[in-house]
Amino acid sequence: MAKISEYSSVVGSSTIEELQLLAGKLQEKIVQNINSTAMGGGVAELLSRIVPLLQELGVNTRWDVIKGGESFFNVTKKFHNALHGRPEEISPQMFEAFMETSQQNIEELKAYGDIMIIHDPQPIALIKKKLSMPGSKWAWRCHIDISSPDTHVWNFLKPFIHQYDSAIFSSPNFSPALPIRQFLILPSIDPLSDKNKDLPQETIDTVLEKYQIKKDKPIITQISRFDYLKDPIGVIEAYRLVKKRIDCQLILAGGTATDDPESSKVFADTKEIAGNDADIHILPVPSGSDIEINALQRASTVIIQKSLREGFGLTVTEALWKAKPVVASSTGGIPLQIRHKYNGLLCHSIFGAALSIKQLLHNPEYAKRLGENGHEHVKQNFILTRHLKDCLLLFLCMYHSDDIIHL
Ligand code: UDP
């Protein structure tokens, strides 16, 4: 992983000095992050970049993962979908299974942070440990779009949330009425990581050869876990509408996450819908294949993210950073990243997505301009150092009730 000083090549040295100044105020504190998976999905991606850099800045930052079996993750996946507004049947037994595993984690997981950052609903019940940790500060960081949650699940989670000192959301639109302090922290990408760094053309070509993807026709790509909310089948339908007019290929690449039991079914359904079209490449990319994901994004003519619901959508940030023209659903955090017709195209339907893709394929100059603006927009707003600063300010704020940090 790159050293903090190396980021000055992207954001300038004064930004790094500012981080060092803020981190200096937190030398005594232990910050413990807890989530439900070490690999797969945006939260693990964020933590894998943020934690080592906070450590290097001198803030004693740790990352622990809760344990859970199939029935627990089945329920938490349903919570995830329901909070995103998708109808889910959740029986009383399922809530009980959630509480049973939560109780085991409460008993077995060591909580030792002065500042506890609990990510998403899976570990939410750990707040019960707060009572036995006097002086500790607890924040629930929600990465999900909870602007229109299923009330059954939301009402179940609320009593836990109310016990936290603060809640953190990724978009002002997600902020619900809560009796605790709320903070807005937008996610970020690491421009120096294997996922996002520049790649030599030979590396990109090697990955294309590995997956038998030709370079003789445009490539449309969606990188995402196989999840219904990412709408892989909608992507195939949009591709088919485009294909009627323009010969092109589609890549749907994605792995699974250990806390997502639905992905193999979604993968199988997607394969079935794709049928035997040799221009559709459905690639089960194992977790940690960052160079491959990077290469597939860079090899693409257009990146699509046709999510039905989205927390923030790091795949969009990654594509914009690579100066790719992006067509993405206007949902969740995506409109925070894409200003329509300035640095990408927002869509609201399969038909709309297909129309936008065709427009970009027909007009490479326009596509290039959108991509360049996208790169600049990410550079100004969604680089890791901005995120680190927000985290450090949050930690300091947790010790100040008036929201003003005196340095
Ligand atoms: N990702 C990956 N491999 C895959 C699919 C996704 O490394 O097969 C990464 C992707 O590049 C991004 C993150 O996982 O960094 C997904 O984050 P996003 O916010 O887009 O969606 P989430 O999975 O959290 O819903």
293 CA from centroid of ligand 1 (Å): 10
Half-sphere CA count of 374, side-chain side, radius 13 A:
32
pLDDT averages per 10-residue partition of the chain, 407 residues: 96 97 96 96 95 98 97 96 94 98 98 98 98 97 96 97 97 95 96 98 98 97 96 98 98 85 93 98 93 98 98 97 98 97 98 98 98 98 98 95 61
Packing angle, helices 232-243 and 350-362, rounded to 10: 50
32 CA from centroid of ligand 1 (Å): 23
314 CA from centroid of ligand 1 (Å): 6
Question: Which residues have any ligand 1 atom within 6 Å of their CB?
Answer: 41-42, 45, 195, 223-225, 253-255, 285, 293, 311-315, 318
Instruction: Look at residue 404 in the predicted model and tell me its pLDDT.
Output: 60
pTM of the model: 0.95
313 CA from centroid of ligand 1 (Å): 8
250 CA from centroid of ligand 1 (Å): 18
Task: Tell me the C-alpha to C-alpha distance, in Å, between residue 406 and each of 135, 309, 366, 381.
Answer: 20, 39, 47, 25
Residue 254 CA, closest ligand 1 atom number: 8
Q: Can you list the domains of the chain with their CATH numbers?
A: 4-188+383-397 (3.40.50.2000), 201-381 (3.40.50.2000)
Residue 225 CA, closest ligand 1 atom number: 5
What are 250's strand-pairing partners? 220, 280
Residue 310 CA, closest ligand 1 atom number: 25
Residue 286 CA, closest ligand 1 atom number: 8
**Residue of 314, 320, 382, 387 to test ligand 1 pocket, by largest number of atoms within 8 Å of CB:** 314
Residue 45 CA, closest ligand 1 atom number: 15
